[in-house]
Structure 1
């Protein structure tokens, strides 16, 4: 038994023999299964299947039995002719045995040739399958490369779009910051206008008792200022959310600021005018009292 056969594990050997027996029975013992068929059926490697199959086929083959050619002593003492005839017959039997052995050897050699051919065919089949697998692997790799290129192209496009979006966002943020800065400046001006109106309101508060018209004008100025402040706050909030309408809203807010400043200036002018009128009235009252006081003294 060769070293290769002895190195094959027992379970593998049993699987190969069982597979060969099953395949041999399936064809009604008409022909031996090929090595490749047994390899696939038993799911073993080609070397193990080839080694065990050689042994299995040898067992299945009919072995030639040697024919005895020994001449007994009694025959030696017998008639020479009988001995010759018997010896000739023995030689024929030996030759027949030799021919049987040669036939068995030729059959075994034919079987080995068939096995080699089977191995060659199995090798060719495996080689073809391997080439087909390599072709499929190459096609798959090519497909993966194309998919990778497409994915890389899409990724590059997405990166470009993202960079553009970031640029637009930065510009929008800068514009919003500018709008907020301008709104803050305008708010400061409105605060200053509010302070001026408060000062005017304080001056008008002292003069409310003198005339109803001054009170009406003051209330009107206060209402106008409240409306202007509410409009300015709404416009400032809208400017953060709606960038496109910021310029128009700022223009309206500026116009309203100017109106508020004009109203405050008018209120200050009215207050000064009323103060002048009050001063004149006071002077007139003083003069009237001066004229009335001497008359009173004279009557006394």
Structure 2
């Protein structure tokens, strides 16, 4: 009976081993189909171990022993900071993380990789990080294209309200606000009358013309957005001074007074403008900044109305 049990045990062990070897062989054969690789980092000495797939992602040869200090320099600054923060949290809390990161290969090409990490340790102490890395560059490009299409106004080619709303939804302490200097709002006066008199195609020509002028006038803008039917918003970086902003606005407004040639007609278009300067250091509420600029725009329109009475 013991011999039978031993034979059964040996048979089961052999079957298990064969199954595992078969699975490993299947993994080895399937791995080249997907740009993926495994990695580990011994926290005692920061030693890295990579499979071939990771070397390929980083554009390195197998002869180049991966050193963590050199590898981490391949990440973009933003990705590097995020990776270090997630890594420290994982080590402290003994849990895993997932991160999409940008790296720069030695040949100068940028790649996007998805890092999946887990921890291993003993006695309540994390001793190793390990996981998988997958090249997601093509997926990222497709996603960026879809997002750009979703955030673009199809008529004028500038950003749409959805894109601008992302700015308004930023918390008062959000990092995006640190580099915002000025918000400028533009609105076409009596736009409905243009549509009523000349037709919507003429109105569209005015919108396209204004968008083109804004793009050319504010080449350093974070964004130029169409946020309403005939209303546009421009977000300028903090590097553009207030004096420079006012000078550019004066020059732009003069150019906007020129008639627009449409079919065999010359269309005249007047534009009102309102702007607000962000407080230094990014300590402000985006919605409050918008309300201030919108109030200035309203006052600009009223001055024109009173002047024509």
**Alignment TM-score, normalising by the size of structure 2:** 0.21
Larger radius of gyration: 1
Greater helix proportion: 1
